[in-house]
Amino acid sequence: MKKKSFFSKLTKCAALALVFGVVAGTGFSGVNYFVGDLVKGGQAAEDEVKPSKIQPTAKVSSVSSKDISGVVEAAMPSVVAITSMTQQEILSFFGQGRTVENESSGSGILVSKDDEYLYVATNNHVVQDSSALTVQFSDNTTAPASVRGTDPADDLAVIQVALSDLTEETKSTVQVATIGDSEKLSVGDAAIAIGNALGYGQSVTTGVISALGREVTFQDEQTGETITSRLIQTDAAINPGNSGGALLNADGEVIGINSSKYSDTQVEGMGFAIPMATVKPIVEDLIANGKTTISGKPYLGIYGQDVLEEVQQFNMPKGVYVTQVIKGSGADTAGIMAGCIITKIDGTQIDSMEALKSCIGGYKVGDTVVLTVQIADNGGYIEKEVPVTLTANTY
């Protein structure tokens, strides 16, 4: 199974965007990916079921495509709304910083439970970098949650909710989702999407399966690598906040995890979901082992943007302006701060994010590089050399 880092692509402007469905309330903390290619391919095969397998429940009765209320009523207790709180350091032009808290919304699917926890499958980008997670159930009660494990390469994660944090009434209401076989789907089959659209609470959209095994290629702006995923395409609306929610068939079985949509003024009805044949073995492994998959790609750990000519008149040196430092990364450990400007790496001049990516790609995880950074100081800049040990990209 591929193990590549699943990371956000940053860009100034793009006409075509594959936008992942997580919506931020107080600031943009969602994830944007820009499509590099979109072609039809085959479906992923389901792995052998592991001991901690997702247990199927009783099958929901099939209903007419004209009346899905029965399916929705039966499935809704298995789908939850997720609220994620993240912290971001904001720096002013003069180098003064403050930390702000952002709230974003996504969805999740109750896939398993034991004597202590409920286990909820969702997208990794819904929970990444979260400082606190809250789950809302179909009866509108809420409970805190924690991350059980993540697989950034496949944009999957599992969070857990302690049963001790639930009322007896909620315990009797929630139910484990019925898992369907995504390999038995046909183009034209009915599709029902349930999720926390725009953070307003659970809502439902309907459509059909438009295509199977779509090979959707994304580019990682940090590393430059391309990542290809095979997804289910549907014309059921996948809106911001739907990420991690359920894509159901007409029998109420979960056949995919809603993850993204193709957004363009000339395109309508192109939503995507990760098929359960891909999801099931990964989620079962995360539940059993509670791990975070680690990629072997070297990673500096910053978000940055080019210093444009328009702002160089303010004596800003040419290089990469650091807009955010990822907590726990090599840059964070070395003391790199948002607001500084990277101008060199191991003596090589850096004048753009593209140049920085190219240089980092020539190293290995664990290598130490020396960054030359310019730090704002009373209207000017002080140059400093900072050794940074490259870590594996787990974000």
Which residue range(s) make up the domain with 251? 17-289
Residues 274 and 364 placed together within one structural domain of the fold = no
Domain boundary among 289, 310, 335: 289
* CA diameter of the chain: 69
Residues 151 and 241 placed together within one structural domain of the fold = yes
How confident is the model at residue 344, as a pLDDT?
A: 94
How confident is the model at residue 223, as a pLDDT?
A: 40
Residues 64 and 89 placed together within one structural domain of the fold = yes
Residue 2 maps to a domain: no
CATH number at 117 reads 2.40.10.120
**Tokens linked to 294:** 């680690």
Residues 30 and 71 placed together within one structural domain of the fold = yes
Residue 12 maps to a domain: no
Give me the amino acid identity at 323: T
How confident is the model at residue 54, as a pLDDT?
A: 59
Q: Is 309 buried (19+), middle (13-18) or exposed (0-12) by CB count in 10 A?
A: exposed
Residues 23 and 153 placed together within one structural domain of the fold = yes
Residues 322 and 339 placed together within one structural domain of the fold = yes
Residues 309 and 258 placed together within one structural domain of the fold = no
Nearest-angstrom CA–CA distance, 355 and 371: 13
* Helix (DSSP H) and strand (DSSP E) numbers for the chain: 7, 24
Nearest-angstrom CA–CA distance, 147 and 126: 11
Residue 282 near residue 276 (C-beta atoms within 8 A):
no
Indicate the number of domains in the chain: 2
CATH number at 346 reads 2.30.42.10
Cβ partners under 8 Å of residue 232, min gap 6 = 182, 185, 209, 211, 212, 214, 247, 255, 256, 272, 273, 274, 275
Residue 271 near residue 193 (C-beta atoms within 8 A):
yes
Nearest-angstrom CA–CA distance, 373 and 22: 33
Residues 247 and 330 placed together within one structural domain of the fold = no
Nearest-angstrom CA–CA distance, 121 and 314: 48
Residues 232 and 112 placed together within one structural domain of the fold = yes
Residue 11 maps to a domain: no
Domain boundary among 234, 268, 289: 289
Instruction: Kindly list the catalytic residues.
Output: 125, 155, 243
The kind and range of the H/E element at 216 are strand 203-219
* pTM (predicted TM-score): 0.60
The tens-digit pLDDT sequence of the chain (395 residues) is 433 332 233 232 233 344 445 555 433 233 333 333 333 333 333 333 334 455 554 444 444 544 688 888 899 999 999 999 887 666 655 556 666 778 888 999 999 999 999 999 999 888 888 889 999 999 999 999 999 998 877 889 999 999 999 999 999 999 999 999 999 999 999 999 998 877 777 888 888 999 998 887 654 444 445 567 789 999 888 877 788 889 999 999 999 999 865 554 455 668 889 999 999 999 999 999 886 655 556 778 898 888 876 665 567 888 999 988 888 888 999 999 998 999 999 999 998 888 888 888 788 878 899 999 999 888 788 999 999 998 876 44
Residues 218 and 316 placed together within one structural domain of the fold = no
Closest by Cα among 194, 189, 172 to 109: 194
Residues 46 and 110 placed together within one structural domain of the fold = yes
How confident is the model at residue 175, as a pLDDT?
A: 93
Closest by Cα among 35, 32, 16, 40 to 240: 32
How confident is the model at residue 307, as a pLDDT?
A: 83
